[in-house]
Amino acid sequence: MTLRLAVFASGTGSNFVAIAQAIDAGKVDAELALLFCDNPNAPVITRAAEMGIPSLAIAPADCANRVDYETRIREALDESQIQLVALAGYMRIVGAPLLESYEGRIINIHPSLLPAFPGRHAIEDAWVAGVSETGVSIHYVDEGIDTGPLIAQQRIPILPGETCEELENRIHRVEHRLYPDAIQTVIGGFNES
Ligand code: GRF
pLDDT at 1: 74
pLDDT for 64-120, tens place per residue? 999 999 999 999 999 999 999 999 999 999 999 999 999 999 999 999 999 999 999
User: Cα-flanking dihedrals φ and ψ of residue 83, to 5°?
Assistant: -110, -20
pLDDT for 26-39, tens place per residue? 999 999 999 999 99
pLDDT at 5: 98
Query: Is residue 55 within 6 Å of ligand 1 at its C-beta?
Result: no
Q: Whose CA is nearest to atom 2 of ligand 1?
A: 111
pLDDT at 155: 98
Query: Is residue 7 within 6 Å of ligand 1 at its C-beta?
Result: no
Of ligand 1's atoms, which has the minimum distance to the CA of residue 109?
Answer: 4
R_g of the chain computed on alpha carbons: 16
Cis peptide before 97 (omega within 30 of 0): no
pLDDT for 144-182, tens place per residue? 999 999 999 999 999 999 999 999 999 999 999 999 999
Query: Is residue 83 within 6 Å of ligand 1 at its C-beta?
Result: no
Please check the confidence at residue 193 and state whether its pLDDT lies above 90. Answer: no
- CA–CA dist 9, 29 (Å, integer): 20
- Distance, CA 7 to ligand 1 centroid (Å)? 12
For residue 173, the SS3 value is helix
pLDDT at 192: 87
- CA–CA dist 111, 153 (Å, integer): 10
- CA–CA dist 3, 108 (Å, integer): 17
pTM of the model: 0.97
Query: Is residue 175 within 6 Å of ligand 1 at its C-beta?
Result: yes
pLDDT, averaged across the chain: 97
pLDDT at 44: 98
pLDDT at 191: 84
pLDDT at 122: 98
- Distance, CA 193 to ligand 1 centroid (Å)? 30
